[in-house]
Structure 1
């Protein structure tokens, strides 16, 4: 695999890790064959699996989730905001997915009878922020048919909406299309869609819990030609899995025509495993950066009248942690669907361990995820003092004593804090055939070659990942329809199994 570009690593140490980095899991010939394997049962993985099952219900779709429940990592530790799409550069993948995903999310949740609330957002600033807010207003208007409506307000107009705002707030930008959602309800509906289609048909799809992908290899059998053309049915990826109650040496091997790498914080491990198999040096691997965000809950005086989300401009109330607008949007106030307020997140970069210990592979089949020890919110008195100072720049009535640590989340980053440039979502496409001639950062499949097995890797899917999830799923499915399956589902066609192993054995694995 060729390295198309390198990302600056900054001053924070990234993690360079790959599946099966120390060779613990030996290659096994595949025993079962499936159409789709989705690695990761977070909101993006579930959205993609749901879209695959809806588009091709007769094809087999398996979500492999290492935890015992869905959405246990980034998906369950965020602000639950439906972002309008104000901040992202035009025509970037992040902008397109956020704008489209916002509309899909409101539509689908309404169809499912699930809760959302379009509460709106005020971005507030002092006299010095007038130009910034004007530029943001003009940018939002330039984003095309799905451009989020915005309105520039004076400080007095902003306080008419939110009387608790500080007298120093002189300008604001009103974004009425911003909303909130229960991510757990969203994931539950996506998971239910794997069990039954709207017209009552049962798709061939399910979630396999407590199982890790521990190795991935391209499968390249000789192509067989016939009058119908080249048969690529045995091409794909050998996905090695380990159930967590099994021994470290006991694995299962699946042949998947399509693998979707949607495992969030661990997604670079999958791609790096392929580079390791090609003996590419670690210096060319995809670096893994981790940014922790802590939240504080609040009950009490100072926000009695708050009805909307409140965001400061990026440098209003900036903390000593040095968060930049390219990485975070400041300490803002969000509401949940029950009306409870929280402040955050802040931004704290996590240093990865200097070396990866061969003995550190944990019970889940991955090398130890050091960030799992960082999931408690910062919670120190100094942290609460700093957060309170940032909040008081726009909500001076908030009482320090009523702030309490709530929860923390970790965001997957592809560049460190010193890379002061916008980092887009990355959706990379690779073919199982001729892998060594493909670029690492390959955003389209080579048009000149009929695809064998396809690997789709979603990297750096942080905010606005929840808002973008349904659009990312649509993007992936459209790509597979164009390059692999075609638009139609071949209903009634029996699936093939490697070595004539049938459906009963596959169900036993699942």
Structure 2
């Protein structure tokens, strides 16, 4: 049985960023990160496009808009200071037909409203100059979009937190959370399979795909609160041949309706490899396999803007699962970042529905959590 000041559940990129920030800003606090896997970032944080987003898609006044724009700047700064591999490649959001051009204009206006100041609307000839192998009648150029080595980022955040005294409890699965006086009692199963308890004053719920369990254990109606997680799977296919060199930037079609996803887009890995995805479909089971038969679906989507791609070029790569809090057919939902005082749970900060642009927003999310605790 142990007592600490702060417990963070989940060692994904957001949990690690929160640990690094809190250990820096709240000196002298005993902080523990609890993670059921044997190392950090084993789920959503390591199974994504590794894109540093600029923040042009998200609605006015949303946390996603504000935290992404701020996080973009913070993340590039962090990469420079800490030597995290990254490339500011730039991105084209394309219109494949004249009918899609108004969508680009809408995205451009939304980006300006969100504070993304470097976007530029390009005509077909300008697109061809930048990317001669891309079929598009127009595009938005986003110079501040890039890619990052997410594992290196998480390693640096963990290192920073450790150096500042944060303790990491890997292979410690939280199985119950209860109120205990003014704080919380967490029951967990350790590496030896035995149960034990830890007490804390502040509990940061950064459990990703499992984040709805913590408020449920504490008596909140997760349906009514809008905290229910709907796992949404996305698969990726890659190109391993020389065709990867025919594109130098990230290429995105217009986003899917209601921001279910950003469509099957083309990204560039740090090694120059071309990769496509993610798709987006809701699932019940957390299965990370890639169905090779879905290659034809990818091919049809990609061929509309990269005509040089053949079906035989596509090889299955990875799959990721997003912790969405919008169910099938529901309108777009914002991040939940909430100190649950109104629910009578002072000291509990829920981070729920942290999907894209969660990686880009990780440092700004951490700052937001630190401010919530600092005010108390």
Aligned to 1:379: 292
**How far off its partner does 1:259 sit?**
0.6
* Correspondence 1:237 to 2:159: no
TM-score (norm 1): 0.71
Q: After TM superposition, what 4+ stretches of structure 1 lie above 2 angstroms from structure 2?
A: 280-288, 299-305
Aligned to 2:161: 194
The alignment partner of 2:153 has SS state of helix
2:248 to 289, 307, 325: 307
Aligned to 1:132: 103
* Distance in structure 1 (CA, Å) of the matches to 2:152 and 2:234: 22
Aligned to 2:237: 296
1:54 to 24, 34, 49: 24
* Correspondence 1:404 to 2:329: no
The alignment partner of 1:110 has SS state of helix
37-46 vs 205-214, which deviates more?
Answer: 205-214
Aligned to 2:200: 256
1:270 to 214, 229, 241: 214
* Distance in structure 1 (CA, Å) of the matches to 2:346 and 2:99: 54
TM-score (norm 2): 0.95
**How far off its partner does 1:284 sit?**
7.0
**How far off its partner does 1:406 sit?**
0.4
* Correspondence 1:341 to 2:310: no
**How far off its partner does 1:287 sit?**
2.2
Deviations 1:364-383 (A, max 9, x none): xxxxxx31xx1011221xx1
Aligned to 2:120: 151
Equivalent residue runs for 1:162-201 within 5 Å: 162-166=131-135, 169-196=136-163
**How far off its partner does 1:148 sit?**
4.0
Contact 1:300–1:399 (8 Å) recurs in 2: no
**How far off its partner does 1:105 sit?**
0.3
Deviations 1:172-226 (A, max 9, x none): 1100010110000000000001222xxxxxx331211110111111112xxxxxx
TM-align CA RMSD: 1.8
Aligned to 1:449: none
- Write 1 or 2 for the structure with the bigger share of helix: 2
* Distance in structure 2 (CA, Å) of the matches to 1:283 and 1:206: 35
Equivalent residue runs for 1:388-403 within 5 Å: 388-403=299-314
**How far off its partner does 1:424 sit?**
0.3
* Distance in structure 2 (CA, Å) of the matches to 1:285 and 1:74: 20
2:356 to 452, 463, 472: 463
Deviations 1:45-64 (A, max 9, x none): 00001101111231111000
**How far off its partner does 1:78 sit?**
0.2
* Distance in structure 1 (CA, Å) of the matches to 2:148 and 2:225: 38
**How far off its partner does 1:453 sit?**
5.0
Contact 1:301–1:398 (8 Å) recurs in 2: no
* Distance in structure 2 (CA, Å) of the matches to 1:281 and 1:287: 5
The alignment partner of 2:114 has SS state of coil
**How far off its partner does 1:283 sit?**
7.3
* Distance in structure 2 (CA, Å) of the matches to 1:299 and 1:156: 29
* Distance in structure 2 (CA, Å) of the matches to 1:267 and 1:60: 23
Using a 3 Å threshold, how does the CA distance of structure 1 residues 337 and 477 change in structure 2: closer, same or farther? Answer: same
* Distance in structure 2 (CA, Å) of the matches to 1:299 and 1:281: 43
Contact 1:86–1:148 (8 Å) recurs in 2: no
Deviations 1:230-265 (A, max 9, x none): xxxxx211111110322xxx4222220101000100
Q: Which has the larger radius of gyration?
A: 1
1:72 to 37, 42, 52: 42
**How far off its partner does 1:301 sit?**
5.5
The alignment partner of 2:151 has SS state of helix
- Write 1 or 2 for the structure with the bigger share of strand: 2
Using a 3 Å threshold, how does the CA distance of structure 1 residues 178 and 148 change in structure 2: closer, same or farther? Answer: farther
Equivalent residue runs for 1:446-461 within 5 Å: 454-461=347-354
* Correspondence 1:204 to 2:165: yes
Contact 2:244–2:273 (8 Å) recurs in 1: no
* Distance in structure 2 (CA, Å) of the matches to 1:256 and 1:159: 57
* Distance in structure 1 (CA, Å) of the matches to 2:173 and 2:301: 41
Using a 3 Å threshold, how does the CA distance of structure 1 residues 469 and 206 change in structure 2: closer, same or farther? Answer: same
Aligned to 1:423: 333
**How far off its partner does 1:303 sit?**
4.7
Where does the alignment leave 5 or more consecutive residues of structure 2 unmatched? none
